[in-house]
Structure 1
């Protein structure tokens, strides 16, 4: 386990710079994916954090489109006098790709295509200023004509998402404590598709892959809910 301070913890340290609690409705946070903390950890010094994000994604030949709602869960606290973190889960909704598998046609059910953000084996939420760590992602490509192994990026060759905070944190609620901020990354590269069988080249052509750094972007607005392990 790496010793590090989570994004939400850094955000809390900046509360004095944030806006006061707003009248915006507070969503219901699902803490079911909170991970088990180390046996040696003091539950009073640990909390589970749930990040609920919505935004846009653009890469390669694909124009900016909705990313699909995403929920990311992790725990952070102190272990042996240092900050530590345990990853929980990343869950995202599929989102339709306009134009479908071949471009310009998504009315035919066989040619419809979705993408879905998935975790690719690594997450570091250490924040330094507005730099908010690094998460490795991959995109599941979903279509009736593609095998369920078809992805853009993989655990071995991921999309290296290094978000930068562009606004916030704003305090949405103090009881329960909920924060909001926006993040973006326009620096990542996107690798070729893999696991798509005989349609690998078609998927690469459709998405314009590989897509070099500077041609892609992810933007999220994120709400953060917090729960102490002492409450669990």
Structure 2
């Protein structure tokens, strides 16, 4: 994803990048062969009874480089703002990292990540979420450097094969939430992503 900066064009607004979540490198890794990447994305999520619901900012940080002559990655963090769900219930949706990622792109996909969609509200326990889902994203639309912001690139991602399963850990409100949200349900996740990286 290494992209050279562009100059000589009007700047567009871009998010702020914070490298505080850059992970420690594996034992034996040469820092000169590694970089930390921060992806900041917004977009829409379609599932159940919600069509193209705007999803607030999600920030994903990871490192990638070479270890023992082979490509390697280390996850840093996923931090997402809660997205209030439309309708009368005071419930918000927040993506959480669910233990697996691979952002080494190939011809079949741009990357993949396991997510759980946490449901937050005044009457819901902290354990309330969807069971984890495996998201495989494809590049969507134009991609390239952002004029006026050296080192920043922009691209689109889409997962049209995502499924949001029924909730778990929501207590007695679980079945009510599933009916209200229309879960389990096929889903489509569209994202606009800004990325910036730095060395170690």
Mark yes or no: TM-score above 0.5.
Answer: yes
Unaligned runs of 5+ in 1: 1-7, 100-104, 106-110
Deviation at 1:208, TM superposition (A): 1.1
Deviation at 1:26, TM superposition (A): 4.4
Pick one of 193, 196, 199 that aligns with 1:225. 196
Higher-strand-fraction structure: 2
Distance 2:134 2:101 in 1: 10
- Runs of 4+ off more than 6 Å: none
Please, what is the CA RMSD of the aligned residues?
1.9
Deviation at 1:142, TM superposition (A): 0.9
Distance 2:156 2:179 in 1: 31
Residue 17 (structure 2) pairs with residue 39 (structure 1): no
Q: What TM-score comes out, normalization by structure 2 length?
A: 0.92
Q: Give the aligned partner of residue 131 of structure 1.
A: 109
Deviation at 1:98, TM superposition (A): 0.8
**In the alignment, is the contact (CA less than 8 A) between 1:124 and 1:133 conserved in 2?**
yes
Q: Give the aligned partner of residue 92 of structure 1.
A: 80
Deviation at 1:27, TM superposition (A): 3.6
Deviation at 1:160, TM superposition (A): 1.3
Q: Give the aligned partner of residue 102 of structure 1.
A: none
What does 1:61-140 correspond to in 2, within 5 Å?
A: 61-99=49-87, 105=88, 111-129=89-107, 131-140=109-118
**In the alignment, is the contact (CA less than 8 A) between 2:161 and 2:187 conserved in 1?**
yes
Pick one of 166, 169, 173 that aligns with 1:195. 169
Count how many residue pairs are aligned between Structure 1 and Structure 2: 198
Deviation at 1:130, TM superposition (A): 6.2
Distance 1:40 1:163, change over 3 A: same
Unaligned runs of 5+ in 2: none
Q: What TM-score comes out, normalization by structure 1 length?
A: 0.80
Distance 2:180 2:14 in 1: 39
Distance 1:59 1:26, change over 3 A: closer
**In the alignment, is the contact (CA less than 8 A) between 2:12 and 2:148 conserved in 1?**
no
Q: Give the aligned partner of residue 3 of structure 1.
A: none
3-state SS, counterpart of residue 204 of structure 1:
helix
Q: Deviations over 1:203-229 (max 9, x none)?
A: 111111111xxx311111000010100
Distance 2:72 2:178 in 1: 39
